[in-house]
Structure 1
Amino acid sequence: MKSLHVVLLFITMVFACSDNNFPEADAIINKSIEVSGGKRFEHSTIDFDFRDRHYKAIRDKGYFLLTRTTLVGSDTIVDALNSKDDFIRYRNQKKIQLHDTMAVKYKSSVNAVHYFSVLPYRLNDDAVNKTYISKTKINDTEYHKIKVTFNAEGGGEDFEDVFVYWINADTFKADYIAYSYAESDGIGYRFREAYNERYINGIRFVDYNNYKPKGSNIDLMAMDRLFEQKALNLLSKVELININVQVSDY
């Protein structure tokens, strides 16, 4: 009988952990997506400028087309990525044949800018894994701390990247993001602080202060503490300008 009680206790603990992690993380991310634009993302055309390049995203019922346009002298270079994972580069409207390694590099770059531009949208993709870490505070404001990882299948070329989101416990907006990524000489770390929030046609956009740790031996989960301790260097600003949004009926 005592063994049965131990087994039942173990099962209860397993289900309790499951309930406290994945379902809660899903609910918080769902709410964050909702307050940031919700279904408007799924039927939208968004274009903006970022660092001297023009970006455009067309999304409709699961289909998407992401483009980046670069002017090089008298040439117009357009990189295009769609939901079928097809990537094509055009120069002056003519398709260019790329080496596989360069195509992967360009595709990843285009996807990354579009991905960050509409966060937390796409955190419900099939390849995304979400884990609730804890409630915490940054500068006396309470946040839900959520870890995000990706499956190899469907997670893109950078599926080994790990993200942490701090979702405001009152507004459910993503105010801070940290992530780790592969560099040629190891693992890189970044921490982003959202600012300049604005809603355009019902969709939330922010800019970011982009920070890098001052030291080594970094713990991704402790990036919020480093931020509070001013142990991060401001590396750059991530600013979207000339944003236009069109939303179809949904």
Structure 2
Amino acid sequence: MKNTWYILLLLILWACGNESGDQLSQNEGGSAVDSAQWVIDKAISAHGGDKVDNSHIEFDFRDRHYISDRQGGAFTYERIWQDTTGDQYRDVLTNDRLYREINGERVELSAKDSSAYANSTNSVLYFALLPYYLNDPAVRKTYLGQGDIKGQTYHKVKVTFRQADGGKDFEDEFVYWIHQDDFTMDYFAYNYIVDGGGARFREAYNVRTIDGIRFADYVNYRPEPEIREVATFDRMFNEGKMKELSRIESEDISVQLR
């Protein structure tokens, strides 16, 4: 009888210890890195990432028209707009280079300008299609456990970048909140270094699925007080310590799958 109660106690303790970790028992190995990879894979799948691989997506954002054209590993990103004088600009970013056209004519760019235009074009498409890019080679993932936001439980995954292939912003730090059941990316935060630095928290809204790909707009918040510990932003948000700064809205989205 004594042994029976001891075994029962061990089973109860094991169950309690795994209450929050059962969701991750399906991954391979169970380390922090493996858990993060498992969560991100599930999130990319839930957002239709397999369809993004071979797709043509267009949308408008802040008076500019963006195009993402992907065929496997090859991509072409475009940003098109017209200035106040009526001149039309077109930035085209591929796997190999960026070039700019003004009124249909290519123009020479300095290395500095080429890098800046490539970064700004890529940045808008990167955020619009998250979490699709979180399996890029430069991404480093760490599982931070679980957190609650508005009564819902989320997996928390920290993302940093290797300097090689990590781009201009390789020092930035992100945390993603992935819903424990639906694996939707409903919130994320980032600590950025360039342009004076800062930290932001984004909340998804106006979620819609177009041809199997999930898109969302975001409320963009600043922490008050302004701190950089982005892993704590779920608690701060719940405590009302976030100030809305702007809305991140993509309009007139169209998708063509190949």
> Normalization by structure 2: what TM-score?
0.86
**Aligned match of 1:52 in 51, 63, 81?**
63
**Cα distance in 2 for residues equivalent to 1:194 and 1:124:** 21
Q: 2:162 matched to 1:151? A: yes
Name 1:94's counterpart in structure 2.
105
SS in 1 for 2:193: strand
- 1:114 pairs with 2:131: no
AA matched with 2:108: Q
Query: CA 1:151/1:234 → structure 2, altered by over 3 Å: closer, same or farther?
Result: same
Q: State yes or no: 1:31 paired with 2:61.
A: no
Q: Which residue of 1 aligns with 2:142?
A: 131
Letter in 2 for 1:226: M
Amino acid at match of 2:154: Y
Match of 1:206 in 2: 216
Q: Give the counterpart of 1:83 among 81, 91, 95.
A: 95
Q: Distance in 2 between matches of 1:127 and 1:206?
A: 25
Q: Give, in whole Å, the separation in 2 of the partners of 1:50 and 1:64.
A: 20
Structure 2 gap segments, 5+ residues each: 1-28
Partner of 1:236: 246
Name the CA distance, whole Å, in 2 between partners of 1:76 and 1:184.
Answer: 28
Does the aligned pair in 1 maintain the 2:56–2:257 contact within 8 Å?
Answer: yes
Question: What amino acid maps onto 1:62 in structure 2?
Answer: G
Q: Which residue of 1 aligns with 2:182?
A: 171
Q: Which amino acid aligns with 1:132?
A: Y
3-state DSSP of counterpart to 1:123: helix
Q: Name the structure 1 match of 2:235.
A: 225
- Distance in 2, matches of 1:50 and 1:226, equals 29
Does structure 1 residue 189 correspond to structure 2 residue 173?
Answer: no
Partner Cα distance (1:244, 1:184) in 2: 32
Q: Secondary structure at the match of 1:154?
A: coil
User: Residues of 1 paired with 2:226 and 2:132: CA distance?
Assistant: 31
Offset from partner CA, 1:134-172 (integer Å, 9 cap, x none): 111112110000000111111111111111000000100
2:30 aligns to what?
A: 19
Distance (whole Å) between structure 2 residues aligned to residue 210 and residue 168 of structure 1: 19
Aligned partners of 1:120 and 1:91: how far apart in 2?
32
Counterparts in 2 of 1:216 and 1:39: CA distance versus 1, 3 Å? closer
In the alignment, is the contact (CA less than 8 A) between 2:189 and 2:200 conserved in 1? yes
C-alpha displacement of 1:218: 3.3
Q: RMSD of the alignment, in Å?
A: 1.2
Q: Distance in 2 between matches of 1:164 and 1:142?
A: 15
Q: Does 1:216 align with 2:239?
A: no
Question: Structure 2: how far apart are the matches of 1:161 and 1:218?
Answer: 11
Instruction: Please list the CA deviations of residues 60-80 of structure 1 after superposition, one character each: whole Å capped at 9, or x if unmatched.
Output: 011001110011132110111
CA distance in 1 between counterparts of 2:229 and 2:160 reads: 16
Q: Which has the larger radius of gyration?
A: 2
Shift of 1:20: 2.6
